[in-house]
A = this chain, B = another copy of it.
Amino acid sequence: MADANNNGTGKSAARGASGTFSLYDIAKRAGVSPITVSRVINKPELVSAETRARVLRVIDEMGFVLNRLASSFSRAASRIVGTVAPPIINFGIAEQVQGMSDVFSTSDYQLLVSPGELSGDHEGRQVMNMLGWQPAGMVLQAFSESDAMRETLRARGLPVVEISEIFGKEPIDCVVGISNHEAARRMTHFLAECGYKRIAFMGAVSHGNDRATRRTLGYRAAMAELDRKPVDVIGPLRASYAADGLRQILALQPDTDAIFCASDTFAIAAIQECQRRGLKVPDDLAFAGFGDLDFAAIIVPALTTVRVDRYNMGSLAAQTLLRRMRGEDDVPRVQDVGFTIMRRASA
């Protein structure tokens, strides 16, 4: 049977082996020059319909695939956009990448996602790595924010869009995101408007970026504005912390009537814990989350939460980068995509 695709031929296969042709092979077969073939692929409008049809037929017949390595490497402007995904790809990140990719797939840029490493290595290495591909621009998903890396990028003058907290560090270039402080502040006020009197907060430890911290501060700011005493606990961002956090909060303030969780994961897990304890949600204890995971609307009671449109963030980041790469000079440096408070049954 087809030995070519079986084991033991790794050597030749590694370089594409059979079925790989160059522009020259196509050109010869079609009776034109290589540049003409290049034009048929990249700028078909510059080629006569007749020639184009002929070349296209040959390309098809021979299953020719343009060597993008060579294209990008030649003096042409790079059409690569790089992004580094965090070592743990959660659903939100996946949606962001989706938003980016849907935009780039209708442009002539190719999005390259380099998966982040788990190893303790400084992620500066990841970015340098990506830089080696000579991208025309990068999208940073702000899962870590080493200053050295930021400086390197700034020094290069490469178009960069960060998806991040908009009031965080001085942007490298452009930022798309939300104010986590404001979102948490608003949700806290919202809970107060719902009539809850003793609103506690379950926050997450900061994790390579200051989103978590800003949410905590937003909650405290709102409590100060309401002239109430803040009651907050902070734990690792894992579902397993929720039961602990709940216990701590109830120890701190036994008559707590609402808990605002800095993540849906906390909120969903805490609600399940309430069920285990026989506490009724929202009657005995109300809950609000942050993020609007898909399960937030599915659980009973459905979760009241802060919705941030991650797909939209990714999409706007991509559009912004496209404008920067085209050299437009009126590209906004900071864009707030905002948030929505989704009121459901849990509060």
Contact = CB atoms under 8 A, between A and B. Distances in A.
A300 interface: yes
A268 B298 contact: yes
28 contacts: A5-B155, A5-B156, A5-B158, A5-B173, A12-B157, A14-B78, A14-B325, A15-B78, A16-B156, A17-B157, A19-B155, A63-B155, A65-B131, A67-B134, A69-B132, A85-B113, A87-B98, A89-B94, A89-B95, A101-B115, A105-B118, A110-B114, A111-B115, A113-B114, A269-B298, A272-B298, A275-B300, A299-B299
Contacts of A12: 157
Contacts of A228: none
A7 interface: yes
Given A117-B105, A156-B19, A7 B98 contact: no
A47 interface: no
A11 interface: yes
A73 interface: yes
Contact of A157 (B5, B93, B118): B5
A66 interface: yes
A259 to B, nearest CB: 16
A105 B121 CA distance: 11
Contact of A10 (B2, B73, B172, B328): B328
A337 B248 CA distance: 41
A215 interface: no
A85 B97 CA distance: 11
A25 B15 CA distance: 30
Interface string A104-147: 01000011111111110000000011011110110000000000
Interface in A288-307: 294-295, 298-300
A4 B114 CA distance: 26
A122 to B, nearest CB: 14
B18 A133 contact: no
Contacts of A113: 85, 112-115
Interface in A1-36: 2, 4-20
Interface residues of A, number: 92
A65 B137 CA distance: 16
A327 interface: yes
A70 interface: yes
A130 B75 CA distance: 21
A70 B67 contact: no
A89 B97 contact: yes
Contact of A115 (B13, B98, B156, B298): B98
Contact of A94 (B90, B239, B325): B90
A118 B99 CA distance: 10
A329 B154 contact: no
A136 B14 CA distance: 5
Given A114-B112, A132-B68, A172-B5, A10 B155 contact: no
